[in-house]
Chains A and B, each alone.
Chain A
Amino acid sequence: MEARLAHHFRAIETQRHAERLGMWLFLATEVLLFAGLFCGYTLYRYLYPETFKLASAHLDVFLGTVNTVVLISSSLTVALAHHFAHRDRSRMAGVLLFVSVLAGLAFLGVKAVEYTHKFEEGLLPGRYFHAEGLTAPGASMFFTVYFLTTGLHAFHVVVGMGVLVWIGVRAWRGEFHANHSMPVELGGLYWHLVDLVWIFLYPLLYLV
């Protein structure tokens, strides 16, 4: 199967350029979506710098670091999947995409363990906050920001995994080759954006 040229494009190159540009425009809106939450983080860290240090100590740095490594490695496998799809090795690309999905599952598993601990300790957002050992003003705001940023990020991981499964199945069936690898490339871009957001969340939340 060749990449299909839509009738409103003059050449396949023009179409590819438009496809990439469209994806980047979408990613820009995603960056701005997360920007609101990063802005909230900056504001409350600015207002309560000491509390943010204390509250951050209640997060598990080890689990956060593990998740960082998992996500970075999944970005590598996605990048390699595109690499192989582009070299007529569609099935290999499929395998790498499924490995990436497994990494996404591992990430969510670790996240679930972390959330469970937070629930048990009462480290919850806003007025649900009732932790025993942490009474400093602004502590509830740290966990509001924590749950909103990591929650929105986890939602993106779930969506990204859906995209990777969809493209992975098509790759496994041998659909992609040198002249037709755009779905792998664009799905990969989405996954890398998820990685990108986490690269900033990790030091800002876990390493205050």
Chain B
Amino acid sequence: MDANAAAAADAKHHRSPSAGRYVAVWVALLVLTATTYLTARVDLGGSWNLVVALVIAAVKASLVVLFFMHLWDSRGTNRLVFLVSVFFVILLIAGVVGDMATRFPLARPPEATGLTGAGEEPEGPGRDPAHGAQNQRVR
């Protein structure tokens, strides 16, 4: 390698992340995996277990996307493409759940216990907007 190439390579080293950062992200991911495993063993009441699990999964996913997949140092268009795909995932899930939540009860599969009456706020639709909103916030 001649001097110019060495200088160019050196400049790149300063811009690209160090190996230590990858290892730190890996440790964080392992800690979060242990956290989600442990919190799942405790009954937090209501749908809080699901909320906590999804928040932790979203944090883990963000770490992978930002650091392992380099979106942290990446150009705007790559970020835009990924965020748009996530947006459409949320749109799809929110639309389908919204449809199911507002249906006439007999139009649902037999013995579905998730929703026992379209008008009942606390048991029925009340539960899922929380779930949907969570999805929007965390994904």
Contacts and interface: CB of A to CB of B under 8 A. Distances in A.
Main secondary structure of the interface of B (DSSP, over half): helix
A138 B101 CA distance: 17
Interface in A156-191: 178-179, 185, 188-189
Given A21-B81, A86-B16, A138-B111, A42 B93 contact: yes
Contacts of B57: 199-200, 202-204
* A: contact size bracket: 35 or more
Given A27-B82, A72-B29, A88-B9, A199 B64 contact: yes
B84 interface: yes
A36 B81 CA distance: 18
Contacts of B136: none
B36 to A, nearest CB: 6
Of listed A29, A47, A48, A199, residue having the most chain B CB within 10 A: A199
Given A20-B78, A83-B22, A35 B97 contact: no
A72 B34 CA distance: 12
B65 A196 contact: yes
Contact of B64 (A75, A138, A178): A75
Contacts of A199: 57, 60-61, 64
A193 B57 CA distance: 14
A20 B74 contact: yes
A10 interface: no
A199 B115 CA distance: 28
Interface of B: 1, 5, 8-9, 12-13, 16-17, 19, 22-23, 25-26, 29-30, 33, 36-37, 40, 49-50, 53-54, 56-57, 60-61, 64-65, 67-70, 74-75, 77-78, 81-82, 84-86, 88-89, 92-93, 96-97, 100-101, 108-115, 128, 131
Interface of A: 17, 20-21, 24-25, 27-29, 31-32, 35-36, 38-39, 42-43, 45-51, 61, 65, 68-69, 72-73, 75-76, 78-80, 83, 86-88, 137-138, 178-179, 185, 188-189, 192-193, 195-196, 199-200, 202-204, 207-208
Given A65-B37, A138-B112, 14 more contacts: A27-B85, A32-B88, A38-B93, A39-B93, A42-B97, A46-B115, A48-B113, A69-B33, A72-B30, A76-B25, A78-B68, A86-B16, A192-B69, A195-B64
